[in-house]
Structure 1
Amino acid sequence: MEHKIIAIGRQFGSGGHEIASRLSEELGIPMYDRDLVEMAADKLGLSEITVEAVDESVFNSFLSSYRYNGFAPRRVPLNDSTFETQSKIIESLAQKGPCIFVGRCADYVLREYPQCMNIFVYASQKDRAERIMKRYNISKKEAEASIKKMDHRRKQYYETYTDQSWGSIESHQILFNISKLGIPQTIDTIKHLYTDSLSSDPTKTNT
């Protein structure tokens, strides 16, 4: 694989999905976020609701976290099955061409691929709460509770499956503080890094 891949990790409410979506449009390459839940559900033969319940989580309730592995006598945690399945899907999609992945430990899954840009997006608590309040039409208290819950869920998931620190400079190539830089400037910077890496080698193209 010589094409470029962008893997974006993000705090809840930081604008990571919006950044990935706009990059996808402006660079003309596909983005995969919740699509990975749909693909994993199809591969596992389960409903999207069931898979989404453990997506980017390591929750272990008896009813939602276990499924029988075919006719094997052992039970396989659904969150482990989801991670393994999504990882295989990410690898397969990365083989096909340039694209953007949001979350799902894509940076770790593609850690052996030198053309993967590993980015983490974060922002202040105030800015994230305001974004979530506006997006979901909820109160500040509810938004702050959602931030705490989702950040814990993503951190636990990432660190369980990667043995690396979520959102740290040690785990990611580039960290963007959206509260300081802003979404438009962040997008422009990532686009510059992406296109510059392609133009530096005449053998690489966007397709």
Structure 2
Amino acid sequence: MAEKTNTIITIGRQFGSAGREIGYKVAKDLGIKLYDKEMLDRAAKESGICQELFETHDEKPTNSFLYSLVMDTYSLGYSSGSYTDMPINHKVFLAQFDAIKKIADEGPCILVGRCADYALQEYENVLSVFIHASLDARIRRIARIYELTDAKAKDMCQKTDKKRASYYNYYTNKKWADVESYNFSLDSSVLGIEGTAEAIKRLVELKERGLDRKL
């Protein structure tokens, strides 16, 4: 029988650390939904912005000077009434941000990547986890999954992580993979997929017990 939880789990992950696979395992055991690319589907549907644009901008940084200016303006209290004046990549990010909050408001779930921990930082029932692994373990996993040489797998790991870090660091006031940016950081090359999933479930249990005490 599936366990129950009231917690929303956000998972940040290094490429090749099996973060998504671990997330699916936890979601199945807790009887809750996992959102990965589904966040993009939801944001596209609710915003009316073309789905392909979400795929294009998915966890990829922007270097546009104009975009930086608009982001600065938005952080100073730019009204949503001016939504139509924004550059498309800004619209895409904000639509995704809104979709993440709506998903979270519907109840316990797991959200993978896409600054979900930042979008939900005001929510008390969120547990944010970052999953990492040794480079050797990640190279082996990616080489096996995508049938690549070790050199190509290493390149893929490093480039994907660089994009994810740039995206996260650009949009949030935190640093990607930094221990202070998350509640917990777990090494899947030490714990394994099963062990990391077990650790997350145990952390959820401890957090919920702590919240009960606070109440």
Sort the TM-score into its range (normalised by shorter chain).
0.7 to 0.9
**8 Å contact kept, 2:7–2:126:** yes
- TM-score w.r.t. structure 2 length? 0.81
Aligned-pair CA distance for 1:154: 0.5
Q: Distance in 1 between matches of 2:144 and 2:86?
A: 39
1:13 to 16, 23, 36: 16
Change (3 A) 1:150 1:75: farther
Q: Distance in 2 between matches of 1:77 and 1:148?
A: 29
Aligned-pair CA distance for 1:199: 5.5
Change (3 A) 1:139 1:59: farther
**8 Å contact kept, 1:58–1:79:** no
> What residue is the counterpart of 1:126 in the other structure?
136
**8 Å contact kept, 1:83–1:104:** no
Flag structure 1 segments of 5+ consecutive residues without an equivalent: 62-71
Flag structure 2 segments of 5+ consecutive residues without an equivalent: 65-81
Aligned-pair CA distance for 1:49: 3.0
User: Does residue 169 of structure 2 align to residue 164 of structure 1?
Assistant: no
The number of residues matched between the two structures is: 192
**8 Å contact kept, 1:58–1:157:** yes
Once the two structures are superposed, the pairs formed by residues 96-107 of structure 1 within 5 Å of their partners are 96-107=106-117
> What residue is the counterpart of 1:113 in the other structure?
123
Backbone CA RMSD of aligned residues: 2.4
Higher helix proportion: 2
> What residue is the counterpart of 1:54 in the other structure?
57
Aligned-pair CA distance for 1:3: 2.9
Once the two structures are superposed, the pairs formed by residues 27-66 of structure 1 within 5 Å of their partners are 27-59=30-62
> What residue is the counterpart of 1:82 in the other structure?
92
Q: Percent identity?
A: 38
Q: Distance in 1 between matches of 2:205 and 2:180?
A: 25
SS at match of 1:56: coil
SS at match of 1:170: helix
Q: Which moved more, 1:131-140 or 1:5-14?
A: 131-140
